[in-house]
Structure formats: structure tokens, C-alpha cells
Amino acid sequence: MNTPYPAPVANFQRSDGSRVSLAELIGGKTLVLYFYPRDGTPGCTTEACSFRDQYEDFKSAGAEVVGVSSDDAASHEEFKGRFRLPFTLLTDEKGVAAKAMGVKKTLGLLPGRVTFIIDRAGNVVHRFDSQFNAARHVEEALQIVKKLEAP
């Protein structure tokens, strides 16, 4: 795990157009917040489906999974439906939340792929940044969540 630090102020758009803050998403539970480049691309689909396949393990460990990209609500809904994703996808339309979280573009072009584990107190306890190892985001996140939630 990394050295914990307070999660920054960040806001996102839900599929219904309403806004939600990072603090509201945490809401007293462990949050796995993952930023990904784009709905439907091969790496992003692999990552989302891996989170889907492990979703019950995350829930059992006391965590919620939320994905974030700059795609709009219609794109998110199509992506969720097509791959039966049980977790929330949020929009960061102009990359403001990504910037607040320190998510950088790869090669200055491709939106970053970064997963954050945020504890119940609102501290970022782990950050995993890998554009090209999408499946590892899920493995690492689940290991960290289980450590956090262990009695």
C-alpha cells in the first residue's frame, strides 16, 4: 500500500445528468475508483469485465466499484448493457476530476488508466497506474480491499 493521503475534492456526472461528489461516493465504505480511457475499447473492456467478474468479491469485502471516463451517459449505458456491468460508470467530461486525482495522459494523448482505493475515512490508501496492464488493476485492487477490510 502507498502512504495514505486525503482524497481530493472531485465531482462527476451520473447517467441521469446529476452531479455526485467523491465524498458522496465514499459514504463510509471502501471505494475502488478506476479511471479508464474509453468505453468499448479492448483494454477498457477487459478491465471492466474483470471488475464485473470479481464484483461480488469486492462487495463481500465491503467495497464499491465505480468506473470513470470522459464518455457521455449514452456511451456508458450502452457499455454497461452490452457487457452486463453491475457497477456505476460516471462521466468526467472535461477531465477535471482526473486532473484533481493526478491522473495523467499516456504519451500526452491517451486518457490515463489509474485505480484508486479510498478507505472509509476518505483517504487514498493505494494507487495503481498502468495503461497497458488492465487486468492487474482488478487483482491489485481486490488484494488491497481484502487487507483493509480484514478483521
Residues noted as catalytic = 44
Contact 7, 124 (CB under 8 A): yes
> Which amino acid is residue 143, in one-letter code?
Q
Q: Sort 6 into a burial class: Cβ within 10 Å, 0-12 / 13-18 / 19+.
A: exposed
Measure the CA angle with vertex 21, ends 68 and 16; round to 5°: 65
In whole angstroms, what separates CA 137 from the centre of its chain? 10
**Residue with C-alpha cell 489509474?**
114
Task: Please tell me what DSSP assigns to residue 110.
Answer: B
Give the span between the Cα atoms of 137 and 14, in whole angstroms. 23
